Amino acid sequence: MNISAAALIEKLQSGEIINLLDVRDELEFHTYNIGGSNIPLGKLPTMLDDLDWDKDEEIIVICKMGLRSKTGKHILQQNGYQNVKNLEGGLTAIQKLNTKY
């Protein structure tokens, strides 16, 4: 399952607590981010124990364009996470919406 940029912005603006996992490299994350945890995709398989989320909680995986986050979503699902969503179009789609995020 995926989530659109507009739907994610709506969740963020409503103040809903969201489990965001940004799988971009650390430099990319520090250059621009919308919050969440940053675990680069290459490190994700070995850092799954660092996630403080239950395996049935909603987790939204994000990256720049939506490709690395799609892979991250599959890694989480293969490790028992049930409610994982990929941000369609990545952070680029959010920036195109021209919002405060």
Set out the domains of the chain in order of their start, with CATH numbers: 2-96 (3.40.250.10)
- Alpha carbon 13 to its chain centroid, in Å, reads 16
Tokens representing 25 are: 């490299």
Q: Taking residues 85-98, report their average pLDDT.
A: 94
Q: Is the pLDDT of residue 56 over 90?
A: yes
pLDDT band per the 50, 70, 90 thresholds, residue 26: very high
Percent of the chain with pLDDT over 70: 97
Nearest-CA neighbor of 53 among 65, 43, 63, 39? 39
pTM of the predicted structure, to 2 decimals? 0.94
**Alpha-carbon span 1 to 95, nearest angstrom:** 21
Options 8, 34, 41, 63, the catalytic residue: 63
* Torsion, CA 43, CA 94, CA 19, CA 10, rounded to 10: -170
Q: Is the pLDDT of residue 28 over 90?
A: yes
Q: Taking residues 31-39, report their average pLDDT.
A: 95
Q: Taking residues 25-30, report their average pLDDT.
A: 97
Active site residue 63: yes
